[in-house]
Structure 1
Amino acid sequence: MKTILLVGNGFNYMIENWIKNLSENFVKETTGEETVSITEKIHEITTLWQKFNEIFEEIKTKNPKLNEEELIRIIYSVIDLFSSMDGLEKIMGRDKLEQLKGLFDSLLLEKIRDIALEFKNHHESVGYKNIKKLFPDFGSRFSKMLSDKKSKYFHIFTTNYDGVLDTLLTGNPHGFIFQDGFGSYTREFLKFYNYNIEYDKIICHLHGSYLYQKIYGMTYKLRDNIENTDPVMIFNNPDFKEDIIKRDTVLLQYYEILKNDLKDSDQLIIFGNSMINEPHIKSLINKYGNREDLKIIIFSTSPEKVSEELKGIYKFNVEQVNTKEVLDMDAFFTELENKL
């Protein structure tokens, strides 16, 4: 069985709910913290992208149903419209219009740096360690599940930038169960090596990570939780995501692996990803995964909405699992194992 698991923010919300369902005494004895303190930290990193509200607050007040990525799309569209108007170009000048685009790009980059710093601060606040303490055998159970189901080939692609899933997918005493392509380089950085991603079990941060840093056009991974001066985290006009991915030395490799996986995998599990702002992923599914022998399974609190996003993309039946009923780790593994 060859499986692709595509993970979004919904996974983090599920973990947050698991912790809420644990007894207060157990959480306190295990971590030394109150349940609400831990769940608030998870919620904070999962919703960090709402920091863009500071830029779009006035527009969002008038258009509350639009999310930040859709607003970015609209703003770029308006700027492009202005750029195509000869009269306006004569008034403002092409240089001014390009300056406007550059200013907006700089504003986004600065906000992304701020958000990467907050991810770093969460890392330092032992937030991830507490998640691991509460679910210490998640990684070993995941590995055992794949072994029991003889699911040798299992590739995870996540659009999340945080380390919640990575933290859970560690096992003792061997560390990470899934490879991400990075290996030893310097004291501060890990380097991406092609041979390090040629494994049956891999995890790919398709849109980057708060630990990925760009240096002279190359993407590296921070060894330690130090300040990231040029983070690789794609949060932009959804229509631009593919172009940005293809210009990155690491994300391009992940993207190509996903493309090739879709050609011959047996199933694609979409877990906690609404797919609303993923036109590039939907395009890959349509081009390479729109076939009857690829089964698509959606795990979501609103699986019917995700199915709607795939209409016209994937023409076969989609299986749906409502994760509102996945209230703890046991239920998670039961549901996932049933699909492998």
Structure 2
Amino acid sequence: MTILTGNGFNYMIMNFIKNSISNYTNELNLTQEELNDLNDKIQEITALWKEFDKFFKDLMKEYPTLNSEEIIKMINLVLNFLSNSDTLEKLIPDCKEHIAPIKLGMEKAIGEKILEICNKFRTFEQSDNYKLIKKLFPNFGDKIRSSLTEKNIQPLFLTTNYDGIEDTILTNHGTFIPDGFGKNKHGDLVLIEDNLNKDELFFHIHGSYKFKKDFYETIKLRQTSENLNPLMIFNQPELKKKQIMEDNVLREYFYIFEEKLKTCKNFIIIGNSLKNEPHIIELLKKQEFNDEHHNLYIYDNNPEQVEKTINKKFRRKIIHFNIKKINTEIFNNSEKFIDNLLSIN
């Protein structure tokens, strides 16, 4: 079983909290104000990438149907065209010399914005919000992971999110799902090959606010350590795979994802539109699935749109999967969601 989540997973958690406020206030001695504040904070970190909308606000006004990553793509296309145009060079001598500083300036500005967003993720953790989330869902991870173990299912959990909400909720008796990291001789948390051979794994396939680029490798920071060089993939969609392949951790995650897809019976997408993830759809396209034995489950507010997005990328109707679409009612109650998820064999 392979489970891929996106921002919609966080919104689902917010929905669970919203619909169970009376239970939490009675059982956990929490006020409605505290729970509303937590939901506001979850929404804030889930929507942090919309800050790039402000960054590109002038262009967003002109092209309202494009999101930030598509705007980056458009800018890159224009800059690449200008830097490779001999005709333009004839019309405006030395114009190419001015393109490189513009490219560097844009890369620097995006990097600074990513660092700013990373610090907000860190602030969320420093305020003990993850502890409160675990308090609200003490058995969520225990129930899912124990049930899968009993069924002899070895799950691979993947997320394109950068925060630690899903990591926290899926803890089992305080134990996080292995992500391949372990201590080296210097005490740093680095990717260790033997740690990738576990019965269950959890990967941040686009990086995390805790992943730090350290020269030629990525290390994972402990607790709330400051991260001055975060690894969080946010870019033109077509460039994401290149960035992934350039990183020692994300590259291994991607390869394991690819191998797992070849054998997993059920591929489950929870709250991920895949709209800006051509590298993931490319993996799906490469697999030779059999309708009878491979199922694609889409948990989403608009599962039909997710299916449409995938089909559009395939340029033909997907016949590899037996597609099962689960709509919003499952997102209203955590117990219903868990029961529905565990009914998949």
Residue aligning to 1:258: 257
Change (3 A) 1:105 1:126: same
Q: Is the 8 A contact 1:27 1:134 kept in 2?
A: no
Shift of residue 30 of structure 1? Answer: 4.3
Q: Is the 8 A contact 1:238 1:278 kept in 2?
A: yes
Letter in 1 for 2:239: F
1:200-219, Cα deviation, whole Å (9 max, x unpaired): 20001000000000011210
Q: Is the 8 A contact 1:259 1:284 kept in 2?
A: yes
Letter in 2 for 1:36: N
> 2:186, 2:36 → 1: CA distance?
36
Gaps of 5+ in 1: none
> 1:82, 1:30 → 2: CA distance?
61
Q: SS state of the match for residue 178, structure 2?
A: coil
Residue aligning to 1:83: 83
> 2:213, 2:241 → 1: CA distance?
18
Letter in 2 for 1:269: I
Residue aligning to 1:41: 41
Change (3 A) 1:251 1:284: same
Q: Is the 8 A contact 2:16 2:333 kept in 1?
A: yes
> 1:203, 1:324 → 2: CA distance?
26
Q: Is the 8 A contact 2:188 2:219 kept in 1?
A: yes
Residue aligning to 1:339: 344
> 1:133, 1:272 → 2: CA distance?
23
Residue aligning to 1:309: 309
How do 1:8-87 and structure 2 match up within 5 A?
8-24=6-22, 26-27=24-25, 29-31=28-30, 34-87=34-87
1:30-79, Cα deviation, whole Å (9 max, x unpaired): 45652210100100110010111231011112322221111111111111
Letter in 1 for 2:114: I
Q: SS state of the match for residue 211, structure 2?
A: strand
TM-score when normalising by structure 1: 0.93
Are 2:171 and 1:170 equivalent residues in the alignment? Answer: yes
Residue aligning to 2:159: 158
Letter in 2 for 1:161: Y
> 2:119, 2:256 → 1: CA distance?
29
Change (3 A) 1:291 1:106: farther
How do 1:215-254 and structure 2 match up within 5 A?
215-254=214-253
Residue aligning to 1:127: 129
Change (3 A) 1:245 1:289: farther
Change (3 A) 1:126 1:188: farther
Residue aligning to 1:145: 147
> 2:187, 2:67 → 1: CA distance?
36
Q: Is the 8 A contact 1:179 1:201 kept in 2?
A: yes
Q: Is the 8 A contact 2:118 2:230 kept in 1?
A: yes
> 1:267, 1:304 → 2: CA distance?
18
Change (3 A) 1:98 1:30: farther
> What RMSD, in angstroms, separates the aligned Cα atoms of the two structures?
1.8
Change (3 A) 1:188 1:19: farther
Aligned length: 335
Q: SS state of the match for residue 225, structure 2?
A: coil
Gaps of 5+ in 2: none
Change (3 A) 1:7 1:30: farther
Moved over 3 A (4+): 27-33, 185-189
Q: Is the 8 A contact 1:89 1:97 kept in 2?
A: no
Residue aligning to 2:298: 298
Change (3 A) 1:35 1:107: same
1:113-135, Cα deviation, whole Å (9 max, x unpaired): 00000100111111111110111
